[in-house]
Amino acid sequence: MSSLFELLKKEQKVCIITTIYPPYPENVETFRGGVTEMQEQLYNERVENGMDVFVISLSLYGKSRDTDKVYRVGTYIPYGKSKFRRLMFPILEFFNPLIFFRLIRILNKENPSCIEYGSSLQFSIAPLVAALLLKKKVFVRNDWLCPNLYAKEHSCSDVERMKECANCLGITNIFLKPFVGLYSVLMLKLKRFLWNRCSGVIVQSSYHKQLLEGWGIKPEKMIMMPPTSVIYEDPIYTEELIKLKKDKIALVYIGRLTEEKGFDLLLDSFRRIKQKRSDVLLLVAGTGDLRRDMDDVEYLGWVEKDRLGSVYKVADIVVVPTVVPEAHPAVVDDALKYEKPVVAFRVGALEEMIGARGVLVEEISADALAEAVMGEMDR
């Protein structure tokens, strides 16, 4: 199947359920990514083709408002904003009765023929339970069955979960650790039960499929669908970037400026590169807490898809320093479409995606990343 639109185009009315969805409030950082953008694309394609669609989402920091087609049923606040929220993870992710009853009311009112169920952080499992109780056709599209935001490279066994889940969540209290491990095991079994009763589970790569099989998701439920990304060039913006680049080698980073995306390692590696090369520039397209002002680092802010192609066009090397396994990062697809070399750590599906069309770095460190980038610059 080529896209969500193709999968669901025969459905009379589609409900999209996701963590956060535009319109976003002004002057508030948005945590957008490939999952959200695919859902925006599905929504826009159905609207353009005169097909019925609506969205159920959380409100970003409590500031996003309802629109005619977007229902807000709760508030999303990133876990990284406080240790307290991380400790509250089990409660926030288990079952929210208020959200459950709001979902029941909305789904009864709108009566969709199908539900596309995407990212569900802080939604708990309430939306999925509500959808299945109402006997709706549900297609699940979520990256992991893991209590952490990002899973490990392999499917953890029950024993591994009992021993290690608390460490992954940054919980060090010896009394809390066994309860966190038990919670993780029980949540996996519950989510696996629910997912295996859906109409389909969308996977993004062979790595993703293997991971879910290891967690007990039935292979016959899986639908292989790599994320689609439609981006465009803006000639005026391209010229601005060319003037900014001048005669330097342009390294490009596109994504959130966060630790899990490896942005801190990228900045450290760029410092090392600058000690040996003066002909290099780092272009950063994205927003986040790790922004640091440095010489020859140009922050472009969030670049919308109608001109994101211009960033790839002027790139000489695209750096993808994510340190956590991802199912199928769209930035790699876009870089390869523009025939740009990619330098990335060997995690998740990156080896499967990049192959010989870039450099895979074995050691996750700033030194190793700097060395790999300089090696690619010298080619």
pLDDT on residue 58? 93
Question: Domain check: are 132 and 87 in the same one?
Answer: yes
Question: Domain check: are 187 and 246 in the same one?
Answer: no
The structure's pTM equals 0.85
Question: Domain check: are 220 and 243 in the same one?
Answer: no
Question: Domain check: are 9 and 157 in the same one?
Answer: yes
Q: For residues 32 and 301, is the Cβ–Cβ distance under 8 A? A: no
CATH number of the domain to which 90 belongs: 3.40.50.2000
Angle at 378 between CA 344 and CA 265, to 5 degrees: 35
Residue 227 CA to residue 204 CA, distance in Å, equals 7
Question: Domain check: are 172 and 241 in the same one?
Answer: no
Please give the residue range of the domain that contains residue 366: 235-377
Helices (H), the chain: 4-8, 34-48, 83-87, 89-94, 97-110, 126-133, 158-168, 177-195, 206-214, 235-245, 263-276, 305-314, 330-337, 350-354, 366-377
Residue type, 203: V
Residue 274 CA to residue 278 CA, distance in Å, equals 6
Confidence at 289, pLDDT banded by 50, 70, 90: confident
Reply yes or no on whether the pLDDT at 264 is more than 80: yes
Q: Is residue 148 part of a domain?
A: yes
- 322-361: pLDDT as tens digits: 998 888 888 999 999 999 999 999 998 998 999 888 899 9
Based on the structure, what is the number of domains in the chain?
A: 2
